[in-house]
Structure 1
Amino acid sequence: MDFSPKLKRVMAQIKDILQKEDLGGMVVLHTPGYSEYLLNLTPSYSCLKVEKDQIRVLSKLTDYDGDQKQQIQHQANTANMLSLITETAVNQTRVLMQVSNAVDVVVGAEHGKLRHRPHGGKGPKFSDN
């Protein structure tokens, strides 16, 4: 088995919470030997949509049935979501890289084959049309 059933189960619960609460987010879970991640960029306030392994930007006025106010609001919400998630992830990653490298040196860690997976399989590709 090339995944952790425990991580799959817990990530499904987190995905349900994000959907129920209408939240975007990025989550990484770990158990010894495995990690799993989830990137949810499609809450109702976002102009991003996932269609067949692609992330699409739906931000034309026609995508909003001519409602320019909603179009502009979704564009602003999406830009804000992407900026905050990215900024937070980068800042946390910098700290984690330093700690990880220090621990590797101190304990002489060798990791072998790493096993990390997006929740649900392959990650999506990006498309703007």
Structure 2
Amino acid sequence: MSPELKLKTAAEEIKDILRKHDIAASIVLHTPGHGEYLNHILTSYSCAYQYQDDSIHFYSKKKDFKSVEEQAKQQGETANMLHILSKLTGENFMMLHSMSEKFDSITNAEHFNP
């Protein structure tokens, strides 16, 4: 199995787990020389939907909710989801970037795109 297919297969399996447990996630997968990212934001508590072209739309029409309070609750939970995912993804990036820079410096690593 090619590295790209291996990562895409793993990403689909992870999405199945996330759907099963109704969990949002932002994940990066790696195999030597290859990477794949996964943003899963389609949950029962979110009004966000990500298309295959990676565009994101928000569905929160008044007619789709029993009350204004229910609509506001889902909008708030979506905002909270996006805030936490972006904040923690940013913190993770800062930690990994710093670690990568230090390791590259110590080992004189050279990177290439296969």
Q: TM-score per shorter chain, which class?
A: 0.7 to 0.9
Identity of aligned residues (%): 36
The 5 A counterparts of 1:1-129 are: 3-51=3-51, 53=53, 54-62=55-63, 64-65=64-65, 67-113=67-113
4+ runs deviating over 3 angstroms: none
Cα drift, residue 109 of structure 1: 1.0
Higher strand share: 1
Higher relative contact order (CA 8 A, sep 6+): 1
Q: Please give the TM-score of this superposition, normalised by the length of structure 2.
A: 0.87
Greater helix share, structure number:
2
Structure 2: any 5+ residue segments left out of the alignment? none
CA RMSD in angstroms comes to: 2.0
Listed as ranges, the gaps of 5+ residues in structure 1 are: 115-129
CA distance in 1, matches of 2:65, 2:98: 48
The Cα of 1:6 is off from its aligned counterpart by 2.1
Aligned residues: 113
CA distance in 2, matches of 1:99, 1:86: 20
Cα distance, 1:65 vs structure 2:
4.3
TM-score, L = length of structure 1? 0.78
Residue 71 of structure 2 aligns to a residue in which SS?
Answer: helix
Cα displacement string for residues 41-69 of structure 1 (whole angstroms, at most 9, x for unaligned residues): 1111101123463311122313x245322
